């Protein structure tokens, strides 16, 4: 399989042109043209200049520059420093860092899962239980029978005015209380299994 340099040399000889003729036409040193034909890229500047020389050389020989550049890219690559090296030597450089062993990946995964679980447990430990009181509302007027109801965490304990209330599977709770006419206050307390307590107060009026 011919290289880009060999194809350029063959076409130049077919047209009976010398390296001096080509050098004069495209303003590139003969030594650079010789290096291109011999694929001796150590004698050439960076990859950017090399590709420019190849393109100009191809045009003056009436060859397709894209074809020549494609052949060049097939056989050679440019390192991060701009050095032209055979493609076969690029892969080891790129693969200097081997993939992580499967055991290490599993270990990292287990650590991440454990830390996530631990974080959730700590959050549950330090956070107060949810408590949303639906009735009664502050400042509202009601009849003598008041139904105190709301939502909390299913595993929380709810106490309303010192009375323990049953909490449903979805966290709902309710308690009927009787009040005489006047202004009253009700205290609703939700306590988590970890002992964290949230307390809400509602003040309302009972009509005569």
Q: What pLDDT sits at residue 193?
A: 84
C-alpha 146, offset from chain centre: 53
Domain boundaries, the chain: 4-94, 99-127, 131-206
Overall average pLDDT of the 2-25 stretch: 88
pLDDT tens, 68-124?
888 888 877 776 666 776 665 444 444 455 677 888 888 899 999 988 888 776 666
Digit-coded pLDDT (tens) for 17-49: 999 988 898 898 888 888 888 888 777 777 777
What is the model's pLDDT at position 132?
94
Q: What is the percentage of the chain residues whose pLDDT exceeds 70? A: 88
Tokens of 91: 């892969």
Q: How far apart are CA 57 and CA 52, in angstroms?
A: 9
Question: What is the average pLDDT value for the chain, to the nearest integer?
Answer: 85
First to last CA, the chain: 106
Q: Do domains 4-94 and 131-206 have the same CATH topology?
A: no
Domain 4-94: give its CATH code. 1.10.260.40
CA distance linking residue 114 with residue 157, whole number of Å: 29
| Residue range 156-178: mean pLDDT, rounded | 94
Does domain 131-206 fall into CATH 2.60.40.10? yes
Q: What is the pTM of this model?
A: 0.41
Answer yes or no: are the C-beta atoms of 145 and 162 closer than 8 Å: no
Measured CA to CA in angstroms, residue 117 lies from 112, 114, 153, 164 at distances of 9, 5, 19, 32
């Amino acid at each position: 399989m011919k290289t880009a340099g060999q194809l350029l040399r063959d076409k130049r000889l077919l047209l009976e042109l010398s390296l001096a003729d080509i050098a004069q036409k495209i303003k590139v040193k003969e030594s650079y043209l010789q290096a291109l034909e011999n694929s001796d890229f150590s004698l050439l500047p960076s990859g950017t200049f090399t590709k420019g020389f190849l393109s100009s050389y191809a045009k003056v020989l009436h060859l397709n520059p894209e074809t020549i550049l494609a052949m060049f890219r097939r056989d050679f690559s440019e390192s991060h420093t701009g050095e032209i090296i055979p493609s076969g030597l690029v892969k080891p450089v790129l693969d200097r860092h081997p993939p992580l062993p499967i055991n290490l990946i599993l270990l990292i995964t287990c650590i991440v899962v454990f830390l996530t679980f631990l974080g959730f447990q700590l959050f549950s430990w330090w956070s107060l239980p949810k408590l949303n009181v639906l009735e009664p509302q502050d400042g509202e007027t009601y009849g003598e029978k008041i139904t105190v109801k709301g939502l909390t965490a299913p595993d929380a304990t709810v106490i309303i005015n010192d009375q323990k209330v049953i909490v449903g599977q979805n966290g709902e709770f309710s308690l009927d209380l009787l009040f005489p006419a006047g202004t009253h206050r009700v205290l609703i307390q939700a306590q988590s299994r970890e002992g964290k307590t949230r307390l809400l107060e509602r003040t309302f009026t009972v009509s005569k």
